Amino acid sequence: MNPVTKGEFAPAPVRWFLARLMAHTELDDEEQRAILRLHGQAAEVRAGGVIAVQGTTIVHSHLVARGILAQFDEASDGRRKATRLFVPGDMCGLQTVECPTIAWGLCAFTSCTVLHVPHDELRKLVNRFSGIRRALWREMAIDASVRSKWTGNAALKNGAERAAHLICELSLRMERVGLCDRNAFNLDASQPQLCQALGLTPVHTNRVLGELRRKGLISTGRRAITVGDWNGLRKLAEFDPAYLY
Amino acid sequence: MNPVTKGEFAPAPVRWFLARLMAHTELDDEEQRAILRLHGQAAEVRAGGVIAVQGTTIVHSHLVARGILAQFDEASDGRRKATRLFVPGDMCGLQTVECPTIAWGLCAFTSCTVLHVPHDELRKLVNRFSGIRRALWREMAIDASVRSKWTGNAALKNGAERAAHLICELSLRMERVGLCDRNAFNLDASQPQLCQALGLTPVHTNRVLGELRRKGLISTGRRAITVGDWNGLRKLAEFDPAYLY
DNA sequence: CGGATGATTGAGAAGTCTCAACCGTGGTGG
DNA sequence: CCACCACGGTTGAGACTTCTCAATCATCCG
């Protein structure tokens, strides 16, 4: 069996993950096969459902198979702020392989399916294959870059700009996996969920989305946002995809 | 020459860096010696001075020897937001070893001295020593955790709370290096610099600092903030050092 | 001494929050 | 099948946080 054939039998999220890595790092056949052999128990989680609790120790990373996963920080009064979102094919928590006690929480941003990939398996790959080591290092570099942009956005952009930026980022990342066209991106998140990603109250999130809608940039439905004018969103948000590599 | 003796002759920032790593990862003698042999050209930078420009490709990481270094994100109108600060002994830009084109900028938060450590050297260490690999992986995990906290803070805390949180974080990190006592921490940053870290305007930064001063939590001078009541700051900021590991 | 920079204060505007109410939809139990 | 309820979306009004513009003062450096 050649690796391509084997690849076709690997679960889609694992193939997406491999494609992600190969977008920035050359991996030889053996390394590709090793990635494709990754597996983990699948779990379905409804929007808002908690997957991992702040302060606990976990023994696996989370590979997104469907929907969107959120890392979040929580205030003492329970308010949450998403600090990073993960789309299908993303391996969330690569850092936790060597640092398994998490200072952040993990929840489902939209209804989603995650594969629990044991840290042990990832650790073995890293120790054995220099290409995979390089690839995961780069994944963490991209992760840091995205976090940096989010921190910057929180201070440098207002609500509408942040919302536009978020939609640009998610649509582009979903497009790269091959799950949508950026001009026809549909996000099935409720406004109460969205407001955690934007760092706004539900009421103001509603007003900001209304503003984007009135400008013809998006259309909204119950639990759904659809891109209407991607370029308009990009301009409003000053979205520059360089930070996504 | 035994490693300890040699270590005493390594530059202080390199020894601090080694101590940082050994706080979370066991390294054998050979690995310790390898770290202590790290070196790089030193550069002095005045507060606000740019060290690396967004979008360029760099060939070394930056080890802080004195002062505080800032990664920042920049808006098109030139406003900057610091997204991560680095104190002496911190290796800034570990991620860039395998991803050298930076999507963020780098500048001096306070007047500082940095050592330019070639990526090549770090890459060699990582490929050769599994302990160092693990240690740097953990450094990147802590980095992600801190970034996550900063993103959360931007949305979950107001100006005064963020200022208190920043002072708590920096004083604790400086204390760990052995450069100060948290109750006697002095930050020699001007308010125009501080405002970039807090995500506030200079005017509002001034008002927020005045509020902390009136509460007896800090005292301020020209280009300086001194901790007056660390526990008071901690309570106000709801500072929990877990995210620093 | 003069100019640049930082700290401080005031006043009004903009962005966002809070509280409140109302509506539509979808699911649930009687 | 219907009544009801939970939830999400929407809108209004007023309050609070932060920004903007402006002015003043002190300090440091040339």
* A5: pLDDT strictly greater than 60: no
pLDDT of residue B3: 42
pLDDT band at A6; cut points 50, 70, 90: very low
Cβ–Cβ of B155/A81 closer than 8 Å? yes
Q: Residues of B with CB below 8 A from A169's CB?
A: none
**Angle (CA) A91 A97 A99, round 5°:** 125
CB A86 within 8 A of CB A145: no
pLDDT tens digits, chain B, 245 residues: what are they?
A: 444 444 457 899 999 999 999 999 999 999 999 999 999 999 999 999 999 999 999 999 999 999 999 999 999 999 999 999 999 999 999 999 999 999 999 999 999 999 999 999 999 999 999 999 999 999 999 999 999 999 999 999 999 999 999 999 999 999 999 999 999 999 999 999 999 999 999 999 999 999 999 999 999 988 999 999 999 999 999 999 999 99
Instruction: Encode pLDDT of A90-146 as tens digits.
Output: 999 999 999 999 999 999 999 999 999 999 999 999 999 999 999 999 999 999 999
CA-CA-CA-CA torsion for A235, A221, B151, B218, nearest 10 degrees?
A: 100
Biggest CA-to-CA distance, chain A:
56
Q: Which residue has the higher pLDDT, B116 or A223?
A: B116
In sequence order, what are the residues at sequence separation of 6 or more whose Cβ sits closer than 8 angstroms to the Cβ of residue B221? none
pLDDT of residue B67: 96
CB B35 within 8 A of CB B57: no
Distance CA A127, CA A56 (A): 25
Give strand D nucleotides closer than 7 A to any protein Cβ: 7-13, 17-22, 27-28
- Measured CA distances, B43 to B91, B108, B113, B117, B148 (Å): 15, 11, 6, 11, 30
Cβ–Cβ of A75/B238 closer than 8 Å? yes
End-to-end CA distance of chain A: 33
Q: Which residues touch strand D (CB under 7 A)?
A: A 190-192, 202-203, 206-207, 209-210, 220, 222-223; B 158-160, 199-201, 203-204, 208, 222
Tokens 């911190």 belong to B90
End-to-end CA distance of chain B: 33
| Helix, strand, coil percentages, rounded to 5, for chain B | 50, 20, 30
Classify burial at B82, counting beta carbons within 10 Å of its beta carbon; exposed 0-12, middle 13-18, buried 19 or more. buried
Classify burial at B31, counting beta carbons within 10 Å of its beta carbon; exposed 0-12, middle 13-18, buried 19 or more. buried
Q: At what angle do helices A29-36 and A130-156 cross, to 10 degrees?
A: 60
pLDDT of residue A206: 97
Dihedral-angle region of residue A238 (phi above 0 means left; psi in -120 to 50 means alpha; beta otherwise) = left
Instruction: Encode pLDDT of B134-153 as tens digits.
Output: 999 999 999 999 999 999 99
pLDDT band at A9; cut points 50, 70, 90: confident
E strand or H helix at A209, and its extent? helix A202-214
CB A218 within 8 A of CB A228: yes
